[in-house]
Chains A and B, each alone.
Chain A
Amino acid sequence: MSAPWHGHPRGQLAPRLALACGLLSMVASLHCAAADISLQQLMQQLAARRHAHASFVERKSLAVLKRTLESSGELIYEAPDRLLKRTLKPKAETLQLENGMLSAQRGARTYRMALRDSPDMAPFIDTIRATLAGEMPTLQRTYELEFRSTGGNWTLLMVPREPQLARVFARIRIDGAGDLLREVIIDTADGDRSVMTIRDIVDP
């Protein structure tokens, strides 16, 4: 009974717990529920957006390399399940997610795979897509979510639930303002880091 808002009401206790929850929610909302509601609000705001077009700059710091790798290009999103990441520098190539299929095009070659067959790829593209689509259930299934917001700015911290994914990725952090994403930071389990800065392009 010490923290009824964490537990699930069960058996005979259920009515009483529900009542207690109701009473306590007024207090509790000052802490976690405030975040809950605004994460939901954020997700609703994001889901309302059907189309997004942004430029990005990605910086990767890898242990195997002596310097940071920088690439840039654009992101195009069509609700709810198409996301295109087109890299223009240093080499033109695209990564596209459509209907659960991933296709990566490099030069004359195209590699295709189903997203469900390569869960390792999810943090790079599907997580961004699910965030843009406001698909909270998808995110909650894959990650433990932690949400903070101050004023119009927010931070969504995601830690993989699956041990298989956790072996590769430590955490993903998305910073944003309103219904815009500003930065995606991916930390791998071996200490490498990728930072993607996003700037919205307003289509005419």
Chain B
Amino acid sequence: MTNYYEQTRIDVATQVQAIVTAWTTYPLVVELDNDDAVDQATQTNPYLQVEIRDINGDQADLSHNPLVKQTGQIRLVVVVKQGSGTRRANELLDFIRPYFDLKEFTLVRCHAAEKFPQVKRNGQVFFPLVINYWYHRLSN
């Protein structure tokens, strides 16, 4: 395998696609792949924003083609309108979590998902779920 960075995106996108397909309560809108799918002003249902952040890469051994340990974070944020309660956000977060929690994909391996306190801004409430990940790649 040589396309490590794209494979990271594919691993995450596949899971997100599975979530969108399986979530039947309302059509789930997702912002992924650096796109602007959501107009925050007109969006009424909770929506999901996904971001992949590569944070570090360290050489892991001393061979001729050494292993490199790449680490990063998958940041999933459920956004709901302020004043609409936390139930809908929690339901969506509960639905999403098993798709990433301690999972291993084609390349990416996930730590346990961490839910952080919500943040309120501009009439919206952001519910973050953060998954630290890592994978090993060969330098070539």
Q: Are A and B subunits of one complex?
A: no
Interface set of B (CB-CB < 8 Å, partner A)? none
